[in-house]
Every structure is written in structure tokens, then in C-alpha cells.
Amino acid sequence: MVSTRLLRPPEQVPDVTGYDVEKLREQFPILSREVNGHPLVYLDSANTSQKPRQVLDALSEHYERHNANVARAVHTLGAEATEAYETARVKVADFVGARPDEVVFTKNSSEAINLVAYTFANVTLGGGDPRFRLGPGDEVVISEMEHHSNIVPWQLLCQRTGATLRWFGITDDGRLDLSRLDELVNERTKLVSYVHASNILGTVNPTSVVIERARQVGALVMLDCSQSVPHMPVDVTDLGADFICFTGHKMCGPTGIGVLWGRRDLLEEMPPFLGGGEMIERVDLTGTTFAPPPQRFEAGTPPIAQAVGLGAAVDFLSDIGMDIVRQHERELTGYALEALQTVPGLRIIGPRENTWRGGTISFVLGGGSGSSPAIHPHDVGQVLDASGIAVRVGQHCARPTCVRFGIPATTRASFHVYTTTDEVTALVRGLEQVRKVFD
Amino acid sequence: MQIDALYQEIILDHYKRPKGRGLRDPYEAEVHHVNPTCGDEITLRVHLDEDEKVADVSYEGMGCSISQAAASVMHDLLRGKPLPEALRLHEAFSEMVGSRGQLAPDEELLEDGVAFAGVSKYPSRVKCALLPWMAFKDAAARAAAAAEVDVAVTQKGAVDG
């Protein structure tokens, strides 16, 4: 029974023959930079993506021509800024197939996750919709492949409420282990929160089977889409989750802005997270009533220019087409998986097949049975940097995943729509250099 | 190539053939330090003899070449040194790797440790080089406390060049 439920539908393959990555790269000023005397090879997009000219221009044009605070000024600039901010909300909503009033701007994905975690804490403490009430005996389910930002808020919440935190394991080939799905997600489960695309393994996780099970037991589902929304078509209606979050700076937008998407009926039942200006309806010294969502969750002056920049980023990605972005990265990933495995002693941590995975590849060098001693990722990254190659090394804010695979850290190469096969080749050559230094 | 300034032969030698590695008895204090940015870890023991000399620094850990070599060099440097002098070496090493290349290293004092002068130009690696040294400082303080030696007092009377 379980195995048929876990079968994944095939992904559609769009035609990318007309896509010219070199031409696209001209729109990213930073990509023509040199680092340590070499052309920059930027393979750290899962950490943060680079920004195209039109995003940079949108930011400066906003500050140069339309800068004012939003939702309070009657003057022309205030109206323009408000219009720009709300237009960005509409663009972001369209990008993920959502209603604009379901899009809450946050600082980043971490804040979006904390917003939902504090909803549970606040309802538990102050009363409200029972779907958000937690206590001893209740369970929250995450997974072993989460970023710390999707672990720590739930640990804190469970400590405060007495609920129990549980998690899905990871299979040896880096997939979510759903073999105990029915046992892990049960009548006691109030929330399942897990990553759509892993920031360390590159795995793209199935959603419908988990969401279907959560529905059976009446649990809510949150998906951390920080590494999926920037790289593939994501539609909240198709996904069917209750909440998703993602962050602007990983999708060619600016830092300082993230998104919580929530189902409207849930957002309406949720108490405020942060208190302050613009999230209120009426304030008396004896008490306050609150604005409807999404404003209820956007206390204080929001990241206005960043929202405008994110709107421009969404336009940029939409103009390319997210299916093209996905296919470009898929082809690149296929090439990289093959090329990296030609490096002696290199072991990929995560799926080695190019299905249900994204363009984020973690690996370790050496240390396998019968090979040379492991070269620490920090050393790998340092030698690569001397050749202008930027990768991320360390635990990638996912220590439990490293522990699962018995490794202290990994080296991670991650791609985006502007990454080229030449850059992957440069990485492979760089790794040869690394081996020369340490072997 | 610029990278050679960081990965000097001395460092690579200590990394490939570490001195004094392994946890040994006896000891008065054991500490465990981590570098959360890269996952490096070290468990370190300090043994002080009756004359408050560092009779042994033993350690076990995992980490990059810089942190592993630093532990090896530190073991060589500190073993047999009076505690105040060992703490002075800690200070000198910390100053050197924290100087962003501004401080000329004192080879007479730091011996093989001067190989880490290059680290000071790589801010992200300073913590790697310091990991064993910070663990030593912590363990030494605990060992001294266990031996009822007032580190603060001995530290003041420490420097003699």
C-alpha cells in the first residue's frame, strides 16, 4: 500500500533550446567580477543568489524617485510608495498562485516560520482557534533534513507548550524516509513542518502524500520553500499546504524580505505576532483591536524597497519562465553529478540520481574506505576561493543532517539560472587542485 | 600562489602528522569546544604537575587542517612550559592571528606557531587556528582551579619576555 502511495508523478520537461545563459549573465553585474585574479565562479546560490540589473535598478529607482513610508502618508510620494509595495505583493502572490491578501511580507523565511510557531504559542497561552492549541500529548513533526530555522522554532515551541517534537528520518540516498508516515503523523499531530527542497542534500521532497496523511488526522502542514520557490514552478493551490515560506534574496531579490503564505481562513484566525504600528485597527490604552491579514502580521515600517526589489525579481524570473529555470538547472545538475563523480575520493551526500532533486550538491572529499584521508570542507573551500570559485563549506545550518551521514561538514555547490557548465567544469578542476595541496 | 601563505609546509606537516594527538591520563581538566560555523570540535585535557608546569596537553578532535595543525603545534609548544608562560604563549598566538597581518610574529617565542601568521589575513579562518588554544585556556583555568592555583595572579606575574 505504502509503496504505491509514495510513487512520484513524473516531472514535465520543457524545451530550453532557446535559452541563452551567456546572454542572461550579462544582466548580472557581479558575474563579470574577478576574485583573487580569476573570473568569479559563483556556486553558492543556495546561500544567496546574485541580483540582475533590473532588481538593482528597481531598488535605486525606488529610493531615488518614490521613497516615502507606506499606508499612512497622504502625499504623492506616500501614495506611490504604497502602490509600489502593494503591487509587489500582487506580483509575489501571482508568482506562487496565491491571493495577495494571503501574502505576508516578513524579514526572511526564519521570521515566517517563527510567525507560525508563535501563533501556536500565543493561542496556547491566550486562547483562540483550537487548530493552533498545543499541550502535552500533542505532537509537531519535522524532518532530519531541516535547516536549523525549521528546527529551533519548533523545539522552543514544544518546550513552552509541553508538546512533543518528532521527525522523519533520511534514507541512505538522501530521501525523506516516509516508511513510518502513518505512525509519525497520527491523531496527536497538530503540525507537520518540513522542507520542500533541502538546502544541504538538494533533495526535492514529495508533498501530496504527507499532506494527504496530515488531512486525515487534522494536522496543519507548513512547507519551507526557501530552496524550491527560487528554482521551480511552485503553486500553492497545487501544493495544498497550509503555510509556505520563502525568502527574497535566494530568488534574485534583495536581502531583508521574506514571505509567509498562509491559507486565508487560517490567517484570519491567527493572533498578531509582533505588535506595533500599521498592524492595528484601533488602539486604546486599555486594549487594541487588530488589522486584518496580511497587515496584522506586518508591524512597523515594512521592508518597502526590498518588496519592490522582490517584485522586480519575480518579474525577472517570470520573464525567463520558472519551467525554463528548472530545466536549465536540471541539465546542469545532471552534468555536475556526472562530472563530480569523476573526482577520485569524492562522495556525494544526497541523491545521486538526477530525479526529484535540485541544483544543490553536497559532497565530501576523501575519507572513504581505502582512500586518502578526508580533506576538511573548510580547506576545500579555501583552496577553491584562491581560484575564484565560491562554494559553501560547513554544516549549512543543518547539523542533524551531517550527523545522520556521519560527517563533520560538507562542501556544497549550488546553482541558479545563471550558472554554466563551464563553471561546473572549473569546480571539478579546482577540486583537483585541492587534492594536490592536501594529498 | 597566494594560498601558500595560508597553507605553509609546517602547517601541512603538522596536519598530516599531528603531534601529541589522543587523550591521555592523568589530567586535571577536560574541555570540549566547538566552532559552530564549520563544525570543528576538539576535546582537550590539561595535566599540570606539582610545579604548575604543563606536563601534558592531550587532545582529540575533528576539523580542518588549520585547527588540527594548530592543536599539534600547540602541543609541542606548551608541553613542559610553566603555566604562566603557556598562557603568555596563548596570548601571543591570539594576538598574531588576530592582527590581520599587521603584527610581525615572534619566532623565538612561538616557534612553529609563526606559520599561522598567514591565517591572520583570512578572517574566516582565525577561529579555526584559535579553537585548540581557546580550549587550552579554558582547560588550563579549570586545571589550575582544581589545583587551587590562582590563574589571575599567576598570569600577572607571568611575562618575562
pLDDT averaged per 10 residues, chain A (length 439): 46 73 97 97 98 98 97 89 97 98 98 98 96 97 98 98 98 97 98 98 98 98 98 97 98 98 98 94 93 96 97 98 97 97 96 97 79 84 96 94 93 98 98 91
Q: What share of chain A is helix, strand, coil (3-state, %, to 5)?
A: 40, 20, 40
Contact A437 B64 (CB under 8 A): no
Taken in order A25, A27, A32, A33, the sign of the CA dihedral is negative
A429 touches chain B (CB under 8 A): no
State the cell numbers at A246. 520563502
Domain boundaries along the sequence of chain B? 2-148
Q: Strands of A295-366 (E only): list them.
A: 346-349, 360-365
Q: Establish, for the pair of chains A and B, how many residue pairs have beta carbons separated by less than 8 Å.
A: 53
Residue B37's pLDDT band, with cuts at 50, 70 and 90, is confident
Domain ranges of chain A: 2-51+321-438, 54-319
Residue A129 CB neighbour total at 10 angstroms: 14
What is A54-319's CATH number, 3.40.50.300, 3.40.50.150, 3.40.50.10490, 3.40.640.10?
3.40.640.10
| Chain B interface, best mutation among A349, A378, A387, A391, by max B CB count within 10 A | A378
pLDDT score at A238: 96
Residues in chain B closer than 8 A to A399 (CB atoms): 39
Does A215 contact B at CB distance below 8 Å? no
The C-alpha atoms of residue A114 and residue A104 are separated, in whole angstroms, by 13
Angle at B147 between CA B143 and CA B149, to 5 degrees: 95
Question: In whole angstroms, what is the distance from residue A378 CA to residue B131 CA?
Answer: 14
Query: Is residue B126 within 8 Å of B86, Cβ to Cβ?
Result: no
Say if residues B90 and B70 touch (Cβ distance below 8 Å): no
Residues of B in contact with A383 (CB under 8 A): 3, 7
Cβ of B66 under 8 Å from any chain A Cβ? yes
Q: Are A382 and B3 in contact (CB under 8 A)?
A: yes
Active site residues of A: 397
Whole-number pLDDT of residue A372:
63
CB contact under 8 A, B12 and A378: no
Q: Any idea how long chain A is?
A: 439
pLDDT at res. B35: 86
What is the average pLDDT score of chain B? Answer: 88
Establish if B9 touches chain A: CB-CB under 8 angstroms.
no
Contacts of A438 in chain B (CB under 8 A): 12, 65
Residue closest to B28 by CA, chosen among B153, B149, B154, B155: B149
Asked, colleague to colleague, whether A2-51+321-438 and A54-319 share their fold, the answer is: no
A358 alpha-carbon distance from chain centroid: 12
Q: Closest to B3 (Cβ–Cβ): which among A378, A386, A402?
A: A386
The C-alpha of B54 sits at a distance from chain A's nearest C-alpha, in angstroms, of 30
CB under 8 Å, gap of 24 or more: what pairs does A331-339 form?
A331/A16, A332/A359, A332/A415, A332/A419, A332/A420, A332/A421, A332/A424, A333/A202, A333/A357, A333/A358, A333/A359, A333/A361, A333/A415, A335/A421, A335/A424, A336/A361, A336/A413, A336/A415, A336/A424, A336/A427, A337/A361, A339/A424, A339/A425, A339/A428
What average pLDDT does this structure show over B24-44? 90
Q: In angstroms, what separates the C-alpha of A439 from chain B's closest C-alpha?
A: 9
Contact A355, A362 (CB under 8 A): no
> The domain A2-51+321-438: what is its CATH number?
3.90.1150.10
pLDDT computed for residue A217 by the predictor: 98
State which CATH number among 1.20.120.80, 3.30.300.30, 3.90.1010.10, 3.40.50.261 fits the domain covering B2-148: 3.90.1010.10
Confidence of residue B3 (pLDDT cuts 50, 70, 90): confident
CB < 8 Å to A378, chain B: 38, 40, 63-64, 66, 125, 128
Rounded Cα–Cα distance for residues B142 and B31 (Å): 9
Amino acid of residue A430: G
Residues of A in contact with B66 (CB under 8 A): 378-379
Provide the H-helix boundaries in A40-137.
53-61, 76-95, 109-126
* H helix or E strand, kind and range, residue A425: helix A421-438
pLDDT in the model for residue B155: 45
Cβ <8 Å between B38 and A377: yes
Closest CA to A271 of A287, A301, A286, A293: A293
Nearest chain A residue to B1, by CA: A386
Phi, psi (deg, nearest 5) at residue B59? -155, 160
- Which one of B1, B14, B122 would you mutate to disrupt binding with A, by most A Cβ within 10 Å of its Cβ? B1
Find cell 527574497 and name the residue.
Answer: A248
Instruction: Classify residue A272 by its DSSP letter.
Output: P
Nearest alpha carbon to residue B10 among B88, B77, B94, B83: B77
- Nearest CA to A366 among A394, A344, A339? A344
For residue A395, list chain B residues with Cβ-Cβ distance below 8 A: 36, 38-39
Q: What separation, in Å, do the N-terminal and C-terminal C-alpha atoms of chain A show?
A: 50
Per-position b or e across A357-393, b if 16+ CB within 10 A of its CB: bbbbbbbbbbeeeeeeebbbbbbbbbbbbbbbbbbbb
Q: Do B38 and A393 touch (CB under 8 A)?
A: yes
Query: Whole-angstrom Cα distance, residue A248 to residue A98?
Result: 16
Report pLDDT for A160: 97
Residue A382 is classified by DSSP as H
Could you tell me which chain B residue has the CA closest to the CA of A380? Answer: B64
What is the structure's pLDDT at A263? 98
